[in-house]
Amino acid sequence: MGLFDMFKRKDMSVEIKEYLEKGAIVLDVRTLMEWNSGHIKGAKNIVLNLIPLEIDKIKSWNKPIIAVCKSGGRSGQATQFLKQNGIDAINGGPWQNVDQYIDK
């Protein structure tokens, strides 16, 4: 394993498809301006820094979560927080990663 191999993101396509088949909700944690420039049909938008305030709402959905953002960094933070709060969540990375598997 080379030095930079540890920075390679594993292929999430199988996990994303599995979560979508389980009825997962796509949670986009980008800003409203980013969201308005394009987003996944049916996704929910809660800006990353508001997730702690909305945790009860997210739990009430009673569904697994696929967190997405622009590059995968913020969705990674969201995923970690959601998991720490007992929510079944994965980091979908950039929203386009997940969008390709959504029926249009």
pLDDT, residue 96, reads: 94
How much is the pLDDT for 13? 86
Amino acid 98: pLDDT: 95
Cα 52 to its chain centre, rounded Å, is: 15
Average pLDDT rounded to a whole number, residues 4-31 = 82
User: Which domains, ranges and CATH numbers included, belong to the chain?
Assistant: 23-99 (3.40.250.10)
The predicted structure's pLDDT at residue 10: 61
User: Within 13 Å, how many C-alpha atoms sit on residue 92's CB side?
Assistant: 32
User: Could you give the percent of the chain with pLDDT greater than 90?
Assistant: 85
pLDDT digits (tens, 9 = 90+) for 31-45: 999 999 999 999 999
Question: 3-9: which pairs have CB atoms within 8 A and are 24 or more residues apart?
Answer: 9/72, 9/93
Residue 91 near residue 75 (C-beta atoms within 8 A): yes
Residue 63 has pLDDT above 50, yes or no: yes
Mean pLDDT over all residues of the chain?
Answer: 91
Q: Which of 1-5, 44-48, 66-70, 100-104 is predicted least confidently?
A: 1-5
Distance CA 4, CA 11 (A): 16
How many whole angstroms separate alpha carbon 10 and alpha carbon 25? 21
Question: For 42-61, what is the mean pLDDT?
Answer: 98
